[in-house]
A and B are shown apart, each in its own frame.
Chain A
Amino acid sequence: MSLMDALPTPRLRWEGWHPNVVLVSLSLIMLAAFWLLDVVSMAPNRIVLGTGHGALEAFGWPGALLATLLLSFIGILACQPTHRHYRALFAAVIVIMALMPVGLMASSYLLIDPEMPQARLGMGAAYWVVLFVLLLCLVELRLRLNLTRIWPTLWLCGVALVWWLCAAFGLETLALVQEFKARDQQFLSAVAQHIKLVGIAVSVSIILGLALAMLMRRYARLQKGAFAVLNFLQTIPSLALFGLLLAPLAWLAANVPFLAQLGVSGIGTTPALIALIGYSLLPIVRNTYTALEQVSFDTLEAAKGMGMRAGQRFWQVRLPLALPVLLEGVRITTVQAIGLTAVAALIGAGGLGTFIFQGLGQAAMDMVLLGALPILMLALVVDAGLGALAEALRPGGTR
């Protein structure tokens, strides 16, 4: 103890003026991106790569000035980081995000010749960078303001609504909107198919995983073997696993008529589901097992002392206490399955991956975006939703 006292104590780093360095640098990055990169790109038709336009051409002098003011506002407020300023910053970030589609409308008005019905507007690199950095600002502000995940997510949903409204009324020239309008039925059914595949795979692997974890707790020998097999499975690349399943399933479908009647075939939903379930089992089983094992012995002993029977102890004590970690496993699995289902489009399982691979095949980048952006959003929404659920279910409240 005396040695610790003898050491020089670390001084407080900031004395007096202490700006939030993170937000200031993020604001500078956004300003640099806005002025140096292409804000929008304009293409005469679907296949031709667009030509980029800078801030002045896209928004005109007044628009560019307004955007610069808004972006520097973040940096200026962050120089005096009080709680009130953080709240104002949060509001500013949300407002900027909601104004972004309006900016696109302005540049479509300025740049697109109404004589050219095929012309389309694309969001340039600056738009993506600013959008991404604004999300980073939100993450930083959420941490500084000590908010739970649910509020920023709700606000982002509001922003998404604004984007959607703008896209529906007044942004017909945006490439993404045109791409969507050309195949809206197909898009909706692809989203439905994607969610269906993920839902089936995750729910089946939750049931299987729970059963497997229970069995593992009973038979210790099973535990080592099962984990070895599941770990091995995760090492095999998804594309390879999908490929390797094609051959035996095609053979089964050709030689066992009963299975063919059930819908088993080499290409399509069956191999996709088998591979997805195989991949999903490991995170579920691992988290379920550790969740059930980590419940403290004393708590269980106390429950026993209160006269609870084995079944009651499991359902009323062990399972509720294990639930947050268990849900964490479900979250990881679902997010992973959303990404893997995109790959499954290659073997004809459908889903949003279809757009990605078709778009890549036709060199139509807007179609690729039409597939990739919803997948990304789906993953983020599921992640935030299940994360918030796990936070809420944690014993003793959220914090």
Chain B
Amino acid sequence: METRVSNSLSAAQTHKKAPQWLWPLLWGALLMMSVFAMSAAESLFRWIEPDARQVIYDRAGFVTLLGRHLFVVGIAAVVTIIVGVAAGIAVTRRWGCDFLPLVAQLASLGQTFPPVAVLALAVPVLGFGTLPIIVALMLYGLLPIVRNTLAGLQGVEGDIKTAAHAMGMKPTQILCQVELPLAAPVILAGIRTSVTINIATAALGATVGASNLGDPIISGIVNGNMAYVVQGALTIALLALTIDSLFEVLQRQLRARISSA
């Protein structure tokens, strides 16, 4: 009876597999279109800003801007994932549990720090450029990951761990083969939140001299050129939607694998 239920569940999921890649592909295609073919839409932007001398942002190509944006977000994401998950694991082990209450409180308290304020505070210490934005993204992106790693690891039932222990598994094995796989969906949700927030926050880096997709928006606002603003905003929004829908697919596949296992 049990197997039949799970079979029908996985059958339903494979049936749904075709459309689940639809959104990432769609958003990704739109993103690529906006990055590579922005100048093709010149007449449209001319209609928005009929008086401007120039309607397509050209201080740097959109491909370069996108690359820099992804570079900053990517570095911050890799560091935060490693540090955040490691910290989450450390404070849930027996030797680190003294720090658990403090880290848990800090992770929820850190959500109250507005990203703009964090970025602004990073600049006096680190100067202008790409470095402060990477550091600000790391600090800010760390907290959702730590919080969700804690929630995921604490959500694993004690009985399961006891059973694994009784089967003769060593603590490392319990961690890698039992706890982390079971906590994975929650941890992934934290990574998703962190990366999505960071894509948005990285755009603010343009105000501290980092060149990325926020650049057209800022220079558009400063020069009163609405077309620039729309170009930058559109590309960032599409990037955020692409990455977010990719995570959605990942999460769904992870959940499917856990429920079928």
Other contacts beyond A247-B230, A343-B204: 12, CB < 8 A: A20-B98, A125-B125, A136-B106, A232-B241, A240-B237, A243-B217, A332-B111, A360-B120, A360-B123, A365-B124, A369-B124, A372-B116
B112/A380 in contact, CB under 8 A: yes
Docked CA distance A109–B207 (Å): 36
A247/B229 in contact, CB under 8 A: yes
The residue of chain A having its C-beta at the shortest distance from the C-beta of B125 within the complex is: A125
Evaluate whether A239 and B236 lie within 8 angstroms (CB atoms) in the complex, with A343-B116, A346-B218, A375-B116 already known. Answer: yes
Question: Which listed residue (A10, A140, A246, A375) contacts B229, Cβ 8 A?
Answer: A246
A237/B98 in contact, CB under 8 A: no
A188 at the interface (CB under 8 A from B): no
A376 at the interface (CB under 8 A from B): yes
Q: Which residues of A contact B124 (CB under 8 A)?
A: 365, 368-369
- 7 closest A-B pairs by CB: A339-B114, A237-B200, A243-B233, A240-B233, A372-B120, A365-B124, A243-B229
Q: Pick 13 A–B contacts, CB within 8 A, sort by A.
A: A22-B99, A235-B244, A236-B237, A237-B203, A238-B200, A243-B229, A243-B232, A247-B226, A342-B114, A342-B117, A356-B120, A371-B120, A379-B112
B230/A379 in contact, CB under 8 A: no
Docked CA distance A235–B237 (Å): 8
Evaluate whether A339 and B117 lie within 8 angstroms (CB atoms) in the complex, with A240-B236, A346-B207, A365-B123 already known. Answer: yes
Q: Interface size class for chain B? A: 35 or more
A250 at the interface (CB under 8 A from B): yes
In the assembled complex, the CB of A314 is this many whole angstroms from the nearest CB of chain B, namely: 31
Question: Which listed residue (B48, B111, B200, B234) contacts A239, Cβ 8 A?
Answer: B200
Docked CA distance A372–B113 (Å): 10
A237/B240 in contact, CB under 8 A: yes
B226/A383 in contact, CB under 8 A: no
Docked CA distance A376–B165 (Å): 45
Q: Which residues of B contact A10 (CB under 8 A)?
A: 94
In the assembled complex, the CB of B233 is this many whole angstroms from the nearest CB of chain A, namely: 4
List residues 166-188 of chain A with CB under 8 A from any CB of chain B.
none
Q: Which residues of B contact A154 (CB under 8 A)?
A: none
A335 at the interface (CB under 8 A from B): yes
Question: Which listed residue (B116, B123, B162) contacts A339, Cβ 8 A?
Answer: B116
A256 at the interface (CB under 8 A from B): no
In the assembled complex, the CB of A226 is this many whole angstroms from the nearest CB of chain B, namely: 18
Question: Which listed residue (A22, A237, A246, A335) contacts B226, Cβ 8 A?
Answer: A246
Docked CA distance A339–B106 (Å): 18
A368/B120 in contact, CB under 8 A: yes
Docked CA distance A379–B114 (Å): 8
A338 at the interface (CB under 8 A from B): yes
Q: Which residues of B contact A266 (CB under 8 A)?
A: 226
Q: Which residues of B contact A369 (CB under 8 A)?
A: 120-121, 124
Docked CA distance A369–B220 (Å): 26
Q: Interface size class for chain A? A: 35 or more
B109 at the interface (CB under 8 A from A): yes
List residues 103-156 of chain B with CB under 8 A from any CB of chain A.
105-106, 109, 111-117, 120-121, 123-125, 128
The residue of chain A having its C-beta at the shortest distance from the C-beta of B27 within the complex is: A235
Evaluate whether A239 and B204 lie within 8 angstroms (CB atoms) in the complex, with A4-B162, A339-B116, A353-B116 already known. Answer: yes
Docked CA distance A240–B69 (Å): 14
Docked CA distance A250–B196 (Å): 29
Evaluate whether A143 and B112 lie within 8 angstroms (CB atoms) in the complex, with A250-B226, A372-B117 already known. Answer: no
Evaluate whether A247 and B162 lie within 8 angstroms (CB atoms) in the complex, with A143-B105, A237-B237, A375-B114 already known. Answer: no
B200/A7 in contact, CB under 8 A: no
Docked CA distance A25–B26 (Å): 51
List residues 1-30 of chain A with CB under 8 A from any CB of chain B.
3-4, 7, 10, 13, 20-22
The residue of chain B having its C-beta at the shortest distance from the C-beta of A244 within the complex is: B233
B102/A239 in contact, CB under 8 A: no
User: What string of 1s and 0s marks CB contacts (under 8 Å) between A320-350 and chain B?
Assistant: 0000000000001001001110110011000
Docked CA distance A70–B121 (Å): 27
In the assembled complex, the CB of B105 is this many whole angstroms from the nearest CB of chain A, namely: 5
List residues 348-399 of chain A with CB under 8 A from any CB of chain B.
353, 356-357, 359-360, 363, 365, 368-369, 371-373, 375-376, 379-380, 383
Q: Which residues of B contact A238 (CB under 8 A)?
A: 200
Docked CA distance A319–B116 (Å): 35
In the assembled complex, the CB of A329 is this many whole angstroms from the nearest CB of chain B, namely: 14
The residue of chain A having its C-beta at the shortest distance from the C-beta of B197 within the complex is: A237
B165/A375 in contact, CB under 8 A: no
The residue of chain B having its C-beta at the shortest distance from the C-beta of A234 within the complex is: B196
